[in-house]
Copies of this chain bind each other. A is one copy, B any other.
Amino acid sequence: MQQDTPHKPFKRLLLTGAGGGLGTLLRERIKPWADVIRVSDIRDIPTAQAGEEVVRCDLSDRAAVLSLLDGVDAVLHFGGVSVEEEVDRIVQANIVGLHNLYEAVHKQGIRRVIYASSSHVVGFYPTTQVVDACAPLRPDCLYGVSKCFGEALSRYYYDRFGIETVCLRIGSSFDAPRNARMMVTFLAHDDLVELVRCALFTPRVGHTITFGVSDNPVRWWDNGQAAHLGFVPKHSSREHAGRFPQTGAWPPVDDIGATFQGGPFVLAGPIYKD
């Protein structure tokens, strides 16, 4: 399929955070879905290819965000802070910035957002419990708290204005699991793309919360309530078996980083450095 024919499903998709790890991946993979992919980041990112528009944008700039969303059919929001950082940066990017984004979505008449939430909104559940989309939130860091804000904000825009959002509680999306915990939380790149595709193309999504995770043997998350998305992962951390074999060396009983689903995130936090 050629990138510039007028017959692609969407006219223009916006991808924020296009300079990040997942953004870079998606930028490449979503091209068949729209005539134009508008890609954006707060940083410099590679120049536009055919079928692309590159817009540098700071999400905390309300006017700039409104302009960024002009002419857009749907938003894939992978921008903002995605790890634990200084509170001011988190507030500007993930709270003020997200509000700017949804205000612009509303004003521009856009109907759907794919929102990169995070499994860290439930990271303080123990690793011995399986949780689903309705489980009360237990964020494991300030970054996770900001994603709770995002899920609540998007729910509000759905209930109030009918703007649909799929919240993707992404686990760990890399080429391969990088540590033993990621054998559980791994989301293969192909599966991420498929999940975004399901979230974007399903006729009705309302406000859906789904965990982004491959078909790994150990499961902490039950995606039964999002079965209407039709996401069926094709990969598994099993493909990487042997990298982090289970051993008899159980973690010490007071190792809280190993006790909770959030893993090392529960011990993160520049906010407590001063």
Contact = CB atoms under 8 A, between A and B. Distances in A.
Contacts of A220: 227-228
Given A91-B91, A228-B130, A124 B247 contact: no
Interface stretch (A19-27, A45-53, A135-143, A168-176): A135-143
A156 B127 contact: no
A116 interface: no
A200 B228 CA distance: 30
A251 B203 contact: yes
Interface string A176-206: 0000100010000000000000001111111
Contacts of A155: 124, 136-139
A242 interface: no
Interface in A14-57: 33-34
B128 A156 contact: no
Given A95-B95, A128-B205, A138-B155, A228 B218 contact: yes
Given A33-B248, A137-B152, A204 B126 contact: yes
A50 to B, nearest CB: 20
A81 interface: no
Nearest to A153: B145
Given A156-B144, A205-B128, A266-B160, A9 B222 contact: no
A134 interface: yes
B87 A99 contact: yes
A68 to B, nearest CB: 17
A111 interface: yes
Given A87-B96, A127-B203, A145-B156, 15 more contacts: A87-B99, A103-B272, A112-B250, A124-B159, A128-B206, A133-B136, A139-B155, A142-B156, A160-B266, A201-B246, A201-B248, A204-B251, A217-B230, A217-B232, A219-B228
13 contacts: A9-B248, A34-B248, A95-B95, A126-B206, A128-B205, A128-B206, A129-B228, A130-B228, A140-B159, A142-B156, A184-B230, A201-B246, A201-B248
